[in-house]
Structure formats: C-alpha cells, structure tokens
A and B are shown apart, each in its own frame.
Chain A
Amino acid sequence: MGVLWFSIVAFMLAAYVILDGFDLGVGIVYLFVAETEQERQLTLRSIGPVWDGNEVWLLAAGGTLFFAFPLVYASAFSGFYLPLMMVLWLLMLRGISIELRSHSHDALWRTFFDGVFTFASVLLALFFGAALANVVRGVPLGTDNYFFLPLWTNWRTGANPGILDWYTVIGGVLAVIALAMHGALYLAQKTEGALEQRALRFAGKLWPAVLLVTAISLPATVLARPNSLANYRTHPLDFLAPILVLLSLGVIRQAIRARKPLRGFLGSCVYLAAMLSGAAAGLYPALLPSVGSAGQDLTVARAIASPHTLHIGMVWWSIGMLLALMYFTLVYWLFRGKVSQHAEGYGH
C-alpha cells in the first residue's frame, strides 16, 4: 500500500511538471521568441485552452498528499512556509496577466502584462526546481517531525540549510532552462512559419545548457545527500532512469536538428519524467529526508494514513483518474494540431 501511494503522489507531481511545465516554459521563452503582436497572440492561444487544467494537477497532487500522507503535508507545507506563499502569489500574477492581456486594447498595457507573464513564469520554475532540490537534500526535522526553513543561511548544505543554498540553486536553474526548452519545443510543434523556426532555434540554443546542468546535478546530488545512491546499489534497475535521461536528451538533440518539434517535445516529456523518477527512486522510502541529528526521515511507513482510509481512497482515486484522463484526452485531441490565426479565444 505504501509503495503504491508513494508512486501515486510521484505520478501526479510528474504529470504536473510535464503538463504545467510546458505552459510555464512557454511563459519563459515568450518574450524571446514571439516578436510581433500576432505571434504573441498565437503563443497564448497555444496554451489557452489547457493551462488552467494543467495547473489542476498541482491541486490534485496536493490534495492526494494531504489525504494519503497527512504528516508529510503538515510538516512540509508549514516548513516551506515562505517559498510556498511566494509560489501562490506568482501563480496569481501569472494567471491574471494572461487574462488581462487578452482584454487590453492598448499596446502599452499588453507589453506590461507580457512582462509580468514572463517574470512570474521564470520565478515559478526557479522555485519549483529549488523546492524539489530541498526535498532531495533533506530538511532539519525536529523530534516533533516539524521544521521551519529560513530562505537562506550560509548557502551550504549540511545540518543547518536554508531554502536556497548552492545545491538548490542548481536545482532552480536546471528547472528554468529545462522547462524553457520544454516550452519552446511545445510552442514549435503548435505553430508554423517564423515563430516555429524561432522557437526551435531557441530550444537548440538551450540544449547544451540543459545537458551541462543535468550532468552537474547528478554528482551534486550525491554530494548534497551522500546516501542518495543507496537504492541504486540495491536495485540496479533504478539506473534505467539516468539512462533514459541521457537517451531522451539525445532524441531531443536529433529532433531539433531534423526540425521535428513534436518528436523533440515528446523527448522532453520523457526527459522530465525520467529526471523525476530518478529523484523518487533515490528518495524512497523517505518522502522528506532529515538532515542533522534531531529528527528521523519522514518515511512512507511513518507518514501514511491508516490502511482503511487508503482502501477507500483507492476506489475513488482510480475512478476519478480514469475520468480525468478521458477529459484530458478529449481536450488535447480537440485542440490538436497547429494553432491558426483565426482560432477563437485570446485576442478577441
């Protein structure tokens, strides 16, 4: 039961990163690849019908964590208090700027909301990457299973870390460039002509940076949390994750060269999924590892809700997820293909 719910939460978070990741990524590259007013409208239309649904994965994953691992939810959310609140404010700025831009008839305000949209998208990616790196590195849990992290301390990992240290900053930077590439590839496969070419070229420029920071992040993780390879030693199958990371990066490179943006985007989905699986495989059975001597890791066994509650949950979760996958299939299928200039929606 424990490993099942751990996988469910990891799956939902991965779905969030891959899906909302591409619209965050579109937000990051937006100012750089969409130059004319028409291109900007097309860019927003490419994510218009789906970005809100993508964001629901965050809420659904949060709700599932709350229900299946109440102790982790309570500890992590109160411990990461300040960065979480900032994420909330950034999500607000980002959502409102997309909507307001489409209602502005004045070029000045459109430029302003363009700026807010990109600013919030970059910072969100940075925060999400840093957040994940915080979980991988571990937090200074106390005997009461709680912690409270300051935004920064001395920028070192160890017993007294902050939200930001050298390791989590690497995580944040990796998230920004990886999601930027992910978004550029999504945009390229949704558009045509000059916009498509520019997005593809932008993804091509980002690729070496993604490769480099990915390569740095692996030894950095071992440095920041020395026992993160323990599971890999006992379960060599886990090495599939880093192998897939490398393979998918190769596919992306080849797809950009061959001007096949859809293939590149799918490769990028696999890359993100493999990175997250690799992190999850290194963490298990901990959901929130402890650094320092006071507390113990919050493991699946210590944090999981009672078996009876989870049995009930399994029933509705499966039904609900099946329905959700149907809706997503329907929406993505109806809005498949390139966005055209005469499509409905933003810009009316």
Chain B
Amino acid sequence: MDALTLNRLHFAFTITYHYLFPQLTMGLALLIVVLKTLALRTGDAHYDLSARFWAKIFAVNFLLGVVTGIPMEFQFGTNWSEFSRRSGGVIGMPIAMEGIFSFFLESAFLGLFLFGHKRLSPKAHWASAFLVCTGSWLSGFFIIVANAWMQHPVAYHQLPNGVFEVSSFWPLMLNPWAWLEYMHTMSAAVVTGSFVMSAVGALYVLQGRDGNYGRTFLKVGVTAALISSAAQIFPTGDMHGKYLAKHQPAAIAGMEGLFHSEKGAALVVLGQPDFEHEKIDNPLAVNKVLSFLIYGTTRAEVQGLDQTPRDQWPTTLPLLFYSYHIMAGLGTYMVGLMGLAGLLLWRGQLYESRWILWPILMSFPFPYIATTAGWMCAEIGRQPWIVYGLIRTSAGSSPHVGAGTSLFTLLGFLGMYSMLSILFIVLVYHIIHEGPQPHDHEHGGQSLSAV
C-alpha cells in the first residue's frame, strides 16, 4: 500500500475509534443534567445516586475520549501536513477555539463535578453538570464547523501561494452545512447515550436487581431515545439529505446507488451495487420515493453519478452505498423499537414486558454502528476531495512521511487501541455490575490500608 492509502486508513481508524467515546459522553452529559434536575426538583436521593452512577461511566468514556482525541489534532500535522499548511488559517480557528472555549470549560467543571460533591451545594453541583454538558456540546460544534468547511467551504480567500484564509468570522461559524450537520450529529449522540442508559435499565429490571434505578434509567432513556431517534430521520436527516443533494450530488448518487439521472427516481431499500456494469443487483426498490424525499415531488429528476466526471466520483463507492444503507436501516429499526417501548411506557406496561426489555438490552450497539456508518457516508461521500472542490485528498498528505512510517504507527495504534478496548470493557462491566447503590466495599481501598 502507498503512503496516501495508509495515511487515509490511519486517520479513518483513529477517528472512528475516537468517536465511539464522545458520542456517548455528549449524549450522556445531557441525560445526567436531566437526572440532576429531577433530583433537585423532587429532592429524591435516588435521582442523585443515579446521576453519580452515570457520572462514573461518563468519566471513563471522557478519559478515553480525551486520550484518543489528542491524536486527532496531532494527525492534521503529522500525516496531513500539506492540508494543514494550506487550510490551517481557516480550520485552525475552530480547532483552537475548541481547546480554548470548550476543553477548558469541560475539564474544569468535570473536576468539580466528580470531586466536588461534598464541597458544593446541590445547586452548584447541578451547575457543574450543566457546564460539563455545555462544554462537550460546544466542543462538538467547533469540530463540526471544521468538518463542515471541508465539506462545504465558505467564508474564505485563496492567497497566491495556495493558502486559504478566513474572510469573515460569522459566515464561517454560521455555515448552513455546519448547523445541519451539528443537529444531526448531536441528536445521534443523544440516541447513543439514551440507548445505553435504556439498556442498563433493561438489564437491571431483567435481573431483578436495583429495580428502582432500572426503572428510572428506562423511563429517562426510552423517552430520550424516542425523541432523538425520531429527530434523526425528521427533521435533521431529511434537511441534511436535501442540502447534500444540492451541494454534493455525486455523494448522494453514490449513497443511493443511482448511476443514471432519473425522473421519479426509486429508493433502493436493499441491493448490491455493481459498479462495473453500473446497476444494482437484486434491488428491492420503492418507485419514485427518492425524488419525493429529496425534492418533495415524485416527478423531480435526481442527478445520477453520470452527471459527475469519473475522476470526481467518490472513491470506494460500494462502502459509501453500504454505509448509507446501514445507517438508514438501523435508524428506522431504532425508531420502531423505541416507538413501541415508548407506547408501553406511556401505558405503564414497559417494566413488566420482558419481551421488549430483551431487544432494548441487546440494541445498544446499533447507535454506535449507525453513527459510524453515518460519518463514513459524510467522509467517503466527500472524496476525492479533502476540502470539497478545493484540495484533493491526494494533495493533502505529508510529503516526507513514508509508507513504512505510517504503517508502523498505524500498527502501533491498532495494538494500543486493542488494549484500551479490553481495559475499557472490564472497567465499564465492573461499574455496571457494582450498580448505582452505595456499597460498603466501595471504600475497600481505604479500609484495607487502615487494617
């Protein structure tokens, strides 16, 4: 493999792994604020203990998010130095702002939130949870602004030496693409957080332990999961798709497997794209729906891949097609599951309906898979550009970092992240097993030394 391919794999692997953690922490941060608010409103101690329990899981995920996140900032320079040199004047801005406006806020108040339970009044402790949530949501925003500029560059000048600079601040921050992407991404983070919370709730209820907590987790989790997974499809997914069709027609054609422009285009629900013969094998398609979804009328013409010159087709098209279909398929399943669970919750039957608690418990990986697939759509769909229409990916990597060097560190990351995964699973399993109720042996470390 050449250095370019390895650099792409390097970034793809490290960013995919990294984003497993922030999607949970951003979603969970909001749910912890909900639990803290319930505690403050009702004065019921079990909400406060619930929040403390989720704060432990949050802290582990936050830590892994931080240590796997630092490599993301560094890799712009290490593996993509030409991209950094030319676009640092633009995307360096949101990246620096992320550090200064959100990481400082998040880390300072996380320290207060985790270590300050006794030092702070209940209201101040609520405020620290709220500020951790604000910090993490701000951090998501700045990263999305950077990504949105790569997807849909706005508010820039090109200087004679090929370097880009910001022409004005607010249009960069108000890039419509950024706001659409942000809503879709944050709603997805809430989906992940709430599915995980519901799954732990289902586990406790099914096991017949910590029943009170299990029911609270189910109540808060299922409600949030229903709202957020519905919002993933409408309005956020819908709006994002329409904007994508307007500005990256090749990406949407690749996602849908539409080779030829068509009036009244069909939506392919299932099928296997054959890129040599430019057709879909075994298609399960619904007539005219694609035109309707994008343009709101069944007669509209949808641009196919044939409208884009071959050298500007997204690379790895099959992966684009499948990741879109996995995202959309799982998204639909998640709305269905939580719709049903929400109905049972409303009618007061959820906690006794073991047949639905099982799928709720088992479905927690799906938001992670759907989110990863969604990001693959965005990033593969943008190819062959690193900055859409301005810099090709092939022109972005570091000229003096060889293939062997890149492979060496890719293998290093594979090894390191395998180890982190094992430790992470052991740790989270341990926290879930221990449960939210305070145990005597929690102070084992201290009593041991006292002995």
Contact = CB atoms under 8 A, between A and B. Distances in A.
B111 A52 contact: yes
A138 B166 CA distance: 31
A63 B105 contact: no
Contact of B112 (A74, A82, A321, A334): A334
B85 A70 contact: yes
Interface stretch (B92-100, B274-282, B301-309): B92-100
A73 B120 CA distance: 41
27 contacts: A38-B449, A48-B115, A59-B99, A62-B99, A63-B96, A66-B92, A67-B93, A74-B84, A74-B398, A76-B77, A77-B77, A95-B63, A100-B427, A105-B444, A107-B448, A146-B398, A148-B401, A306-B165, A309-B166, A316-B101, A317-B96, A320-B104, A323-B105, A327-B108, A334-B112, A344-B116, A348-B443
Given A48-B111, A79-B400, A330-B108, A60 B70 contact: no
A53 B416 CA distance: 23
Interface of A: 36-38, 41, 48-50, 52-53, 55-56, 58-60, 62-64, 66-68, 70-71, 73-79, 81-82, 84-85, 88-89, 91-92, 95-96, 99-100, 103, 105, 107, 142, 144, 146-148, 305-306, 308-309, 312-313, 315-317, 320-321, 323-324, 327-328, 330-331, 334-335, 341, 343-345, 347-348
Given A41-B445, A82-B405, A148-B401, A305 B92 contact: yes
Given A148-B401, A344-B115, A344-B117, A91 B93 contact: no
A99 B115 contact: no
B104 A56 contact: yes
Interface string B376-420: 000000000000000000000011110001001100100010001
B89 A52 contact: no
A76 to B, nearest CB: 7
Given A41-B446, A63-B92, A99 B60 contact: yes
Given A50-B111, A52-B111, A59 B70 contact: yes
Given A52-B66, A316-B101, A343-B115, 7 more contacts: A64-B100, A84-B78, A85-B74, A99-B63, A305-B89, A327-B108, A341-B446
A81 B405 contact: yes
Interface residues on B, range: 35 or more
The 5 closest A-B pairs by CB, nearest first: A77-B77, A70-B88, A67-B92, A63-B96, A60-B99
Contact of A67 (B95, B111, B443): B95
Contacts of B420: 92, 96
B261 interface: no
Contacts of A306: 89, 159, 163, 165
A95 B82 CA distance: 31
A153 to B, nearest CB: 16
A67 B88 contact: yes
B445 A37 contact: yes
B442 interface: yes
Contacts of B449: 36-38, 41
Contact of A58 (B70, B398, B405, B450): B70
A60 B85 contact: no
B107 interface: yes
B108 A328 contact: yes
A142 B101 CA distance: 36
B110 interface: yes
Contacts of A70: 84-89, 92, 163
